Amino acid sequence: MARKRIIFSGSGGQGVITASVILAEAAVLYEGLNAVQTQSYGPEARGGATRADVIIDTKEIRYPKVDQPNILICLTQESYNKFSELIRPGGLLLVDSHFVTLARKVDARQVGVEMYNAVMEKIGKPVVFNICVLGTLIGLEKLVKPESLLKVLERRIPSEFLDLNRKALSLGLELAENLS
Amino acid sequence: MARKRIIFSGSGGQGVITASVILAEAAVLYEGLNAVQTQSYGPEARGGATRADVIIDTKEIRYPKVDQPNILICLTQESYNKFSELIRPGGLLLVDSHFVTLARKVDARQVGVEMYNAVMEKIGKPVVFNICVLGTLIGLEKLVKPESLLKVLERRIPSEFLDLNRKALSLGLELAENLS
């Protein structure tokens, strides 16, 4: 597998850090890969744009920050405006269409998906929005298997909320499938 | 402020990643500092020892991993055995006495505190153990103000669980006070 560099970006309450931790854990615990997950907070964190980086590789990872992501997820317009220029040529830029207008040309595949609206319509709980985003992401790019993400959710999430999370993951996978 | 390098270590379900994220956010959002928070997962993650690094500084932070922490928190014997030799001379090594026996001499202040047992006795909910650990930590080392941690908890935690978290933070601060 070629090294995958992923940035999740959005605002504080959208669960981007949790999404990145879940992805990294799935890669390490259930796919035998190495992963590093980082948050750098500087002046921009005070502005409201949260960013979480994940690197996944079969090889050891020495430098844990992502300069140019293969995959960039933007869940707010602010994060799109701030980070979209970082995308690696040929990469994937995934945004939520409810929050983000694709306002810039980039040398990458830009995909807007109605993830938030789908979660609100089909599940009604914004708290699992980030899990739906993960589902869409791994539907578009085979970073890890859905079963590996599910196993992490089973470890991390109280049993009474597990079903909600399962639904959100399936919904995301479905949204990705409908795109292709 | 001199640069603070902190490692939280323990096992999967103990909330060490969340604790480290909350500490970093408090420093950045409410104390005007810079912070970086990292998880590196390699073969050791599969073994069960979770580790989360935080660096806090007034200056910019370029290299985000901690080689030699000023402060090391170990919440399992396995993590103590694995990481305690990393502690910087003169640093603080904080462990939970229920889970860890201080089996090694180190050139640092080693402190065992009955955090887990106190949480179980006074609050009865193991889920806030990590918040009690944060309280004890900032009681022993003034990394950030309790009010800053509280503000992060208020942002992150559903209102129905906030009181539980507040109690756990206060309990941790109390345990630290009883030590000195």
CA A134 to chain centre: 5
E strand or H helix that includes residue B175: helix B159-179
Q: How confident is the model at residue B133 (pLDDT cuts 50, 70, 90)?
A: very high
CB-neighbour burial class of residue B105 (10 A; exposed 0-12, middle 13-18, buried 19+) = exposed
Torsional sign, CA A10, A107, A43, B70: positive
Position B157 scores a pLDDT of: 83
Give the number of beta-carbon pairs within 8 Å between A and B: 67
Position B40 scores a pLDDT of: 76
Q: Output the average pLDDT for chain B.
A: 93
Residue A40 sits at the chain B interface (C-beta within 8 Å): yes
Q: Which of B4, B20, B22, B28 to probe the A interface (max A CBs under 10 A)?
A: B28
Q: List pLDDT tens digits, range A120-157.
A: 999 999 999 999 999 999 999 999 999 999 999 998 88
Is the CB of A64 less than 8 angstroms away from the CB of B24?
Answer: no
Number of domains composing chain A: 1
B177 located within any domain:
no
Asked if residues B118 and B132 have their Cβ atoms less than 8 Å apart, the reply is: yes
The parent domain of residue B57 ranges over 4-113+142-158
Position B117 scores a pLDDT of: 98
Q: How far is the alpha carbon of A90 from chain B, nearest alpha carbon, in Å?
A: 27
For residue A38, give the DSSP letter. E
* pLDDT, average across residues B81-104: 96
B123 located within any domain:
no
Q: How far is the alpha carbon of A178 from chain B, nearest alpha carbon, in Å?
A: 33
* pLDDT, average across residues B1-6: 92
Q: Nearest Cβ partner of B39 from A37, A40, A41?
A: A37
Q: How confident is the model at residue A43 (pLDDT cuts 50, 70, 90)?
A: low
Q: Is the pLDDT of residue B124 over 80?
A: yes
Position B47 scores a pLDDT of: 67
Q: How far is the alpha carbon of B41 from chain A, nearest alpha carbon, in Å?
A: 5
Position A177 scores a pLDDT of: 96
Q: List pLDDT tens digits, range A77-98.
A: 999 999 999 999 999 999 999 9
Q: Which residue has the tokens 């890669």?
A: A27
CATH of the domain at B107: 3.40.920.10
* pLDDT, average across residues A46-72: 88
CA A86 to chain centre: 16
B166 located within any domain:
no
* pLDDT, average across residues B99-128: 96
B180 located within any domain:
no
Q: How confident is the model at residue B42 (pLDDT cuts 50, 70, 90)?
A: low
ipTM of model over 0.85: no
Is the CB of B42 less than 8 angstroms away from the CB of A34?
Answer: yes
Residue B61 sits at the chain A interface (C-beta within 8 Å): yes
Is the CB of A28 less than 8 angstroms away from the CB of B46?
Answer: yes
Q: List pLDDT tens digits, range B136-150.
A: 999 999 999 999 999
Is the CB of A40 less than 8 angstroms away from the CB of B13?
Answer: no
Q: How confident is the model at residue A63 (pLDDT cuts 50, 70, 90)?
A: confident
Asked if residues B97 and B135 have their Cβ atoms less than 8 Å apart, the reply is: no
Q: Nearest Cβ partner of A40 from B27, B64, B155?
A: B64
pTM of this prediction?
A: 0.83
In the sheet that holds B49-57, the strands lie side by side as A109-113, A92-96, A71-74, A4-11, A49-57, A34-41, B34-41, B49-57, B4-11, B71-74, B92-96, B109-113
Is the CB of A21 less than 8 angstroms away from the CB of B39?
Answer: yes
Q: Is the pLDDT of residue A18 over 80?
A: yes
SS3 state at B3: coil
